[in-house]
Structure 1
């Protein structure tokens, strides 16, 4: 897998085309799972792990990788499945989510596939709140699950969602008597709750949808009823979402005369530095890596 990530610059060309590349892997069984290649830093044979006392039960151990100590998460166990007993023949996917680097212990790594976000669909209705999927797709006639990694990480190490009182006070001074709501688009249930809680702490009303396609449909519906800025104050959108990603959503907003003046904040776990250079390409007003409530609140304050 040494050459898996040797063309990041080429992959950034997918931005704005509603496309992504998935790294496919398996855990303990035949079921295949996917993770966005943008999130992956490296794939390697599982190194020797050091077991720490009083560690979280989902963390198999830590490994020294290129001079850094990285926690290795037994992702199967974290999802309620069978834990990995033998690590010698397993692989580790080193990933960066929400400004943190961690390793996911997996049984095997398959390949990378290039796909359109339109082929990535929301989880089937009825899967319940306990599932760990943000989306599903079909590859080679088989169902592939795209994991809600943010949910897994939040259960292992919950993030702070409290906004500094100073920021709350500053935003309250900017609020008008008829403050318009914010449209939030995110496919992760954990992320939606985090963002909504932050906005409600600031005294802002939210309209929440699960992906870019639903967000665009809602925006068009509102615009048909009158000027959009008289109904919404801004849009906060994730980047990775089924059916339509945040980059494409932003491009659609900017190309629509009825929507083009909306303030758009891209709020994403894709914290790689190269993403920041892509804001101008799609026309977003701001780009924030998840999840720091004070930074999000500051961005909202600046927009207001």
Structure 2
């Protein structure tokens, strides 16, 4: 099974080209689910698992993974999947890294890996409601024509198991700067409703309002509309926080598009992503992001915000 993920270097080249690879699997129903390969460290046959008394009810136990104990989350239960289990055997584990933490997801049958484009990835239909655990859907060619694949909102799953504190350290706050921040607006771009909520709650604590979009394409259209109306983008928003991976247009492509349009090319952009590593830092430099933030760090969000406000004030007084 490790052969599925053997060519990591090749896969990293997809990021920044508005492309991705998804790992497809089953959870004991007719549905096919997927995760972005770039978040996946390894796929294992379920090793020996130890129960953890007092753990969250979605955590089936812990395993020893490369010398460390990591939790194993029953993904079927976590996304509240009901209905027949079709002789379901949860005997595989996807080891993932999200938001600087490593965890495993207990799943059933592994299908395959598919190379696709973010432009072919769509948000879930509004009829799915606000409580669904999907961040996107796509259609993949199959022997029967097309197969609907549902991409899971892992950040929402984790947020229901791990408490994410949105409070900000008081010692961090610069009263002079926070006074200037009151009433400022920031564009927040993320396909995960949970991630948008986390950023919104954090920024609201320092008096900053958020304008939110679910993907890079919609964010770019909003920015272009302001520019077409003759508005100065930097008068509309102080800066933009954007996720890296989103349906239709990812954060890298969004940044590149902004930089290529002289009407908005100076917009301050921070990439707020659950991806990590030197590759991501290289991509930030390549497309021209101003800052890179690993989710979810309220103090770091506010630090970037205050630094940006200082830059604006200094340029005004120069």
Does residue 40 of structure 1 match 2:40? Answer: yes
Does residue 242 in structure 1 map to residue 243 in structure 2? no
Q: Paired residue for 1:3?
A: 3
> How many Å separate the matches in 2 of 1:142 and 1:160?
38
- What stretches of structure 2 of length at least 5 have no aligned partner? 310-318
2:217 matches 1:217: no
Match of 1:300 among 305, 308, 314: 305
Query: Cα offset for 1:4?
Result: 2.3
Normalized against structure 1, the TM-score is what?
0.94
**Does the CA-based 8 Å contact 1:19-1:116 persist in structure 2?**
yes
Give per-residue Cα distances to partners, 1:209-267, cap 9 Å, x unaligned. Answer: 11111100010011123221121111100111111100000000111111110000000
Partner of 1:200: 204
Map 1:54-65 → 2, pairs under 5 A: 54-65=54-65
Question: CA–CA distance in 2 between the matches of 1:87 and 1:137?
Answer: 24
SS state at 2:247 partner: coil
SS at match of 1:123: coil
Distance 1:278 1:175 in 2: 34
- Please state how far the C-alpha of 1:9 moved relative to its aligned partner: 2.1
Query: Following superposition of structure 1 onto structure 2, how do residues 1-304 of structure 1 map, counting pairs within 5 Å?
Result: 1-81=1-81, 90-140=91-141, 141-167=146-172, 169-170=173-174, 173=177, 175-176=179-180, 180-225=184-229, 226-304=231-309
Superposition RMSD in Å: 2.0
- Taking structure 2 as the reference length, the TM-score comes to 0.90
Distance in 2 (alpha carbons) for counterparts of 1:246 and 1:143: 24
Give the Cα separation in 1 of the matches to 2:240 and 2:181: 20
Q: CA deviation at 1:178?
A: 8.3
Q: Deviations over 1:132-187 (max 9, x none)?
A: 001100112111100010000000112111111233x3165255388641100011
After TM superposition, give the deviation of residue 90 of structure 1 in Å. 1.2
Sort the Cα spacing of 1:245 and 1:88 in 2 relative to 1 into closer, same or farther, 3 A. Answer: same
State which drifts further: 270-279 or 174-183: 174-183
Alpha carbons of structure 1 residues 189 and 88: separation in structure 2 relative to 1, 3 Å: closer
Q: Which moved more, 1:272-281 or 1:238-247?
A: 272-281
